[in-house]
Amino acid sequence: MSGRQLEAALSGANVIANRNPIPFDNRPPSEAGGLRIGSATLTTRGFDEAQFVRLGKLIGDVITSTNKHHGIASLSDFVRENTEGLPLFNEKWLA
């Protein structure tokens, strides 16, 4: 799976990631084999270590699964359930 394909698959589960070239990758930058996941936003929203571990496992399932739709659906469910009630922006941060 290329970085472009994984970026698109994760986007379908509301996970924002960017493909990135990695050293010695023979693929062109537009298909790069690396992936960057912005974890800072999840930390700001209140994700804990256990949630990050589960998120990583679910992303791994999307990469390795023969049934991509099932993996993406499971990841999407996890994202929805674990971000509900964790705002992107909180009014109390203005104080």
- 77 versus 66: the higher-pLDDT residue is 77
| Domains in the chain: boundaries | 3-89
* Entry pTM: 0.80
Rounded to a whole number, what is the distance in angstroms from the first to the last CA of the chain? Answer: 45
Distance CA 12, CA 88 (A): 19
What CATH homologous superfamily does 3-89 map to? Answer: Aspartate Aminotransferase, domain 1 (3.90.1150.10)
Identify the band that residue 90 occupies on the pLDDT scale cut at 50, 70 and 90.
low
Distance CA 1, CA 20 (A): 13
Identify the band that residue 75 occupies on the pLDDT scale cut at 50, 70 and 90.
very high
